[in-house]
Structure 1
């Protein structure tokens, strides 16, 4: 199959001098197929030689070690160009497109993933580098929709409370023009996606498998709607199966794309907590929704909220709270206030005097002043005014509480 030619609306300005942009793009997508995403070894190889030469070195046997061995097993002696052709053919058949770091719509914020890799034997914490390519289904440009986005993540086995919170936040964010990011899983993820769609907003599902292999299968209809109105994206090429480890690898992309991540509901061992950890490591806003202290499914959120100032996680309970963390200057959440009470307008001395009036019977100014602990002069100056404003009743120089209003009979 003939590969699509770049068009004026799809430039790829980042290719090395003298190298065809299609050659660079092919090299990127083949590398993303041969090596699991985020590989530190592959990142070093591509940084040193560029994607085209890096692929040539792996395919020709110039490289050795675990990276070369893993790539050789997937290449199976086939020319890299043949594998690229097959990937393009499958993508065209499925209506899938692919972008690379050289593409105009590539999200620049993914480059931050280079800074969170740790020198450790744990592949999850070591292999955190940006993807070589991203496969997409949907009509929108990823860089545009992710630039103003918030990730809502949480438990698969959510409670009614968690579903309510996710729906309120997902709908509210989308209604105010923010893209809702999540992982397409059962529970909180699916609720957040559906809420954003219900608000006629944008939502992006970041998958841990090929964009043509919906997982979980019960969310197939949801994925189709997201592909029509939002975006389905994945680092893995079409046809890739959803292995357990890939969900943890995928989480770093969710955290990197969004301005902030909200942990809506999560148990102590929830994988969603790892997405929040990535957000903290990346310097993004990390937020969590508190839940009932009796709920096992809120233990993870509460543990995150107990972190110290070196690993801050902000408590959020509304869309306004979230936007205060991720929005621009002036996006401050309103301070919640209860309904105003009649005594709110009184100064401290006036409140003391009202409190000192007996609830039954009457009292004179001298008695009220003594009970309130104020001077008789202050009492004589304020008691008539309190009676005029309806806070007290005055009769023959004595004061009493006003009668409570009668409730209407049913």
Structure 2
């Protein structure tokens, strides 16, 4: 990216409160340099002139880019290979058209070695309440560690509670984690997480659509949440109140057609009330990180085989299982009695009985067959009724 274009992008990033679809349309039409000139002169459509009037004379582009360079950062635009083009197709979803501030970002200010396009290719957002319980922080930590172990990036918002637990666990596992900020990259918020955010910038990625110096504000957190959802293959809500930023992130993800997952909690916990509401509205119920891995992996590449209880009967054929089930729970039965109970000719019963005896599941004594003493016969529905 040449210096003139960089200055134009940086200027346009500050000239209006992002996102601004009218400004994006102007850039698409005539490019960033020409768009910046037109905005400065006020030679733009009325709607765009109104929203840029207060800031069009505020040109901090050179200082902003100098600060970015000092921090080892970069400006990512749609002209760059790092721009997550595929992930950002979610902004074109039908449900996004009616959501205020639901358009694609104009630029992204980033600090950190991780590439945004690679992160978006295999990532999951772990979000939740700031007032997390020990249960919520435990789940967030364990799951983040499991995700980065399988080279899935963990995306979150850098806040206290669930966000912080997820970021710290990802860093501890030497994985990639991304913090999407609601202010400039030089305004690390919350202040108590400044050291954590510095660590993320060292090995992962800090990213924001706001230029340097912009302070976080409530509306910016809500706007920021759409980026958390956009660059994540799935959004996992660990704990959330009925009205929370995490629930807002889930709403953005659903509007983009992304998978929304919710972790159940105690029905008595207000910290899980938002998760339970999401589940009632159709969110995916997840109870272990492997279920999230299956969702974000490509064609099931990260899915583990589900674990099932192991039984000595698992490897029996249908005929052998039928014969085994024909044996009485207590005592023995003759070959003829077993044949009647199994509704099979006697000559067809003898072979399965022999195989069951070899397997150690049954034994023959005094002309009768019985279940081996050290084995327990699985009870059917009829057997359980007393």
State the alpha-carbon separation in 2 of the partners of residues 373 and 332 from structure 1: 45
TM-score by length of 1: 0.77
For residue 397 of structure 1, the aligned residue among 367, 371, 385 is 367
Q: Report the counterpart of residue 311 of structure 2 in structure 1.
A: 341
Q: Secondary structure at the match of 1:394?
A: strand
Q: Secondary structure at the match of 1:181?
A: strand
Q: Report the counterpart of residue 16 of structure 1 in structure 2.
A: none
For residue 207 of structure 2, the aligned residue among 233, 245, 248 is 233
Q: Secondary structure at the match of 1:131?
A: coil
State the alpha-carbon separation in 2 of the partners of residues 221 and 404 from structure 1: 60
Q: Report the counterpart of residue 136 of structure 1 in structure 2.
A: 110
Q: Report the counterpart of residue 200 of structure 1 in structure 2.
A: 174
Q: Report the counterpart of residue 35 of structure 1 in structure 2.
A: 16
State the alpha-carbon separation in 2 of the partners of residues 139 and 349 from structure 1: 60
Q: Report the counterpart of residue 18 of structure 1 in structure 2.
A: none
- Pick which of 199-208 and 27-36 moved more: 27-36
State the alpha-carbon separation in 1 of the partners of residues 70 and 319 from structure 2: 80
Q: Secondary structure at the match of 1:345?
A: coil
For residue 154 of structure 1, the aligned residue among 116, 124, 128 is 128
Alpha-carbon shift at residue 130 of structure 1 (Å): 2.5
Alpha-carbon shift at residue 203 of structure 1 (Å): 1.2
- Structure 2: which 5+ residue stretches go unaligned? 376-386
Q: Report the counterpart of residue 328 of structure 1 in structure 2.
A: 298
State the alpha-carbon separation in 1 of the partners of residues 18 and 238 from structure 2: 27
State the alpha-carbon separation in 1 of the partners of residues 326 and 102 from structure 2: 67
Within 5 Å, which residues of 2 pair with 1:47-196? 47-63=28-44, 65=46, 67-75=48-56, 77=57, 80=59, 83-92=60-69, 96-109=73-86, 111-112=88-89, 115-116=92-93, 120=98, 125-196=99-170
Q: Report the counterpart of residue 274 of structure 1 in structure 2.
A: 248
State the alpha-carbon separation in 2 of the partners of residues 119 and 350 from structure 1: 60
Within 5 Å, which residues of 2 pair with 1:300-315? 300-307=274-281, 314-315=284-285
Within 5 Å, which residues of 2 pair with 1:195-274? 195-274=169-248
- Pick which of 25-34 and 158-167 moved more: 158-167
Aligned residues: 373
Distance of aligned partners of 1:102 and 1:362 in 2 relative to their CA distance in 1, 3 Å threshold: closer
- Within the alignment, does 1:288 sit opposite 2:266 as a pair? no
